[in-house]
Amino acid sequence: MWMVGRERLFIDRQCSLEERLGVGVATLVVVERSHVVERCPDIGMAGTEGFLPDRQRSLVERLGIGVATLVVVEHRQVVERYRDIGMVIVVMSEDADEDTVPRGNRIFNRVIHELAEVMNVHGYNVYDETAVAMRFTQPGRVRRRDSEIIDVARAVQAPPLDVIAVFQIYASATKSTYSDIVRPNIRIPGRLLNVRTGQQIAAFEVAGLELAPLPQGCDRECLLERVGGEAKLVANELAQALTLKLSGFILPARGANAAGGPAPISGSVTALVPPGDGQGCLNLPTAFVIRLNGFSTSEVQAIEEYLRAFGCYLLHRPIRSAASQAEYWYETRADSARLNRNMQLMLEHMSTAGQVSFAGNTFNITKLATR
């Protein structure tokens, strides 16, 4: 049958967590039987004077310690791979509202630099908007709506953007009712959007903080510096929240522990590992449009089975279908390079001559008719 062997064809050559734990447990059993049991029961384990001696610790307890150690090591490896997934982010501002601080303002610059720096420190690849978009759009445009921002982000091809962080800055000063004390007020809402699909990943707003009062006789220079310094601190809070939400979106099984250290060890080992992690599926859930041209009905049905068999698959939905054409909405955690490679291997495995082309978020798979 044509589907035989597809598991070896498409699944990454990586052992799953369960397989690695199985090997670890088997090794611990061998060590336990050959070394621990043969030792004098009155001698404690080397380097564990503070723990129970061997005679008071059962085999299951000692194996549990070993499994827990393997889980922590595995979790740390997951975090390292998560930092290496290469997600590309650009921080952009929506300043169409006349009450917001415009792009290019001194306060604005301190905020956008702080947002980018925090995300960069958390392991994301953060690019400067001007650097990646200056070839086709006028740098330094102000008072832009979100529609313009999204259009610019989707036009960037090198590097292809995964997420845009959109923020606004509202700054004002309020005089106390009871004295001449003037305090700055700063509110910075932000959100994360999937560039390809338009899906809103996260949103957060930092506001309501009681900031230090402005000094007497604070002129414009003083105001820009004081408010800019406070806005930078507010921006840090926003960036921390958005990166945590993004990490939880990428690795939902770990939740709030995705961006931090090792999660608490519970009775379930699989609770520490996100869905598909054994296959390296740590990418942002995203969607592609897959268009099939020139394939028969039976071939289209076969291709659907292949689409389900691909690693990191989430779901797919038909958009339209005709006699020799079909179009699908395909959601996955695989990146475009991996999906493109799978498409090529699929045609080879089906013994079908065809071409695979990719642009934006659309794959075109065309069957080449021969005599």
Residues 289 and 341 in one domain: yes
CATH of the domain at 207: 3.30.160.150
Residues 103 and 231 in one domain: yes
Across all residues in the chain, what is the average pLDDT? 79
pLDDT of residue 10: 44
Range of the domain at 176: 88-250
CA distance 292 to 62: 55
Residue 291 lies in a domain: yes
Residues 54 and 165 in one domain: no
Residues 113 and 69 in one domain: no
Residues 309 and 324 in one domain: yes
pLDDT of residue 61: 58
pLDDT of residue 47: 45
Residues 43 and 111 in one domain: no
Residue 69 lies in a domain: yes
pLDDT of residue 7: 43
* Structural domains counted in the chain: 3
CATH of the domain at 324: 3.30.70
CA distance 231 to 211: 10
Residue 2 lies in a domain: no
Global model pTM greater than 0.75 = no
Residue 7 lies in a domain: no
Residues 154 and 103 in one domain: yes
Residue 257 lies in a domain: no
pLDDT digits 0-9 by tens, 54-89: 445 565 555 555 545 544 444 444 444 444 457 899
Residues 118 and 212 in one domain: yes
Residue 160 lies in a domain: yes
Residues 101 and 245 in one domain: yes
CA distance 287 to 330: 5
* Cβ 207 vs Cβ 193: under 8 Å: no
Give the other-Cβ count within 10 Å of 125's Cβ. Answer: 15
pLDDT digits 0-9 by tens, 167-202: 999 999 999 999 999 999 999 999 999 999 999 999
Coil, helix or strand for 215? coil
Residues 189 and 58 in one domain: no
pLDDT of residue 278: 53
Report the Cα–Cα distance between both ends of the chain, in Å, rounded.
Answer: 25
Which segments of the chain have a pLDDT < 50? 1-14, 17-18, 21, 23, 25, 27-55, 67, 70-84, 253-276
Residues 300 and 324 in one domain: yes
pLDDT digits 0-9 by tens, 285-307: 899 999 999 999 999 999 999 99
Residue 3 lies in a domain: no
Beta strands in the chain (DSSP E): 88-93, 125-127, 163-167, 170-175, 182-194, 200-206, 286-293, 313-321, 325-332, 354-359, 362-367
Which helix (H) or strand (E) segment holds residue 23: the answer is: helix 17-31
pLDDT of residue 274: 42
* Cβ 76 vs Cβ 262: under 8 Å: yes
Residues 187 and 65 in one domain: no
Residue 256 lies in a domain: no
